[in-house]
Amino acid sequence: MLNSLLSGLQLPKRKLFTSYHHKLDQGYYDWLSQHLSGRLELFTDRALGEPVRSDDPEYVNRAIREEYIQGSSLTVVLCGAETYKRKYVDWEIYSTLHHQHALLGICLPTCVRRQGPQGVTVTVPDRLNHNINSGYAHWIAWDSQWASNPAIFVRHIETAIQKSSNKTLIQNSLPKMGRNSS
């Protein structure tokens, strides 16, 4: 039913900021950009590939908010094997929540999985996890079928934007990471 409702609608072209561990997960970002850029505005030129050159954490946080997050519709967090260890990913999620933008987490095939008493769990950045659990962020698994049917990915974006309409669900009280975890 949702497919038939969405097929007749012309959804707006969304501007995405993508947060990920550049060294390990660049290929997934490149794949998204290559296969979905016709339907989405991916910030290839605005991704935080190089660290902001400053020793002042507040300056770096402000630069992330004002130069990278502002102007986007939502932030997509690509969660791979070491994404949860990256301070800039945490700061980008923090800034996204500060601006009350939508948040979409994507579990990459490389994401750390553990079998526990509740079933399989994955390791994601704490700030993202709190917002998935609160219902503010949308969480999905990577799907290469998006190449042949980008509307599936666009529906996930719209779901994330819809979930973000309830600003009371935002969980952004964790202290910002001071450095990358080892």
Kindly give the pairing relationship between strand 14-19 and strand 40-42. Answer: parallel
Question: What is the pLDDT at residue 57?
Answer: 65
| Per-residue tokens: 52 | 């902001």
- Which of 142, 131, 46, 125 lies closest to 90, judged by CA? 125
Mean pLDDT value of segment 88-106: 94
Question: What is the pLDDT at residue 53?
Answer: 57
Domain 15-169, architecture per CATH:
3-Layer(aba) Sandwich (3.40)
By the 8 A CB rule, do 174 and 126 touch? Answer: yes
For residue 82, how far is the Cα from the chain centroid?
14
**Residue 5 pLDDT grade (very low, low, confident, very high; cuts 50, 70, 90):** very low
Q: Which residues contact 68 (CB under 8 A, 6 or more apart)?
A: 17, 43, 46, 47, 48, 92, 95
By the 8 A CB rule, do 95 and 27 touch? Answer: no
Counted residue by residue, the chain has a size of: 182
Question: What is the pLDDT at residue 93?
Answer: 95
More confident residue, 134 or 52: 134
CA pair distance 136, 77, nearest whole angstrom:
14
Beta strand residue intervals within 65-145, DSSP E: 74-79, 102-107, 113-116, 119-122, 138-141
Question: What is the pLDDT at residue 163?
Answer: 97
Q: Give ∠ CA 22-146-44 in degrees, rounded to 5.
A: 35
**Residue 75 pLDDT grade (very low, low, confident, very high; cuts 50, 70, 90):** very high
Q: Which helix (H) or strand (E) holds 7?
A: helix 2-7
pTM summary value: 0.85
**Residue 127 pLDDT grade (very low, low, confident, very high; cuts 50, 70, 90):** very high
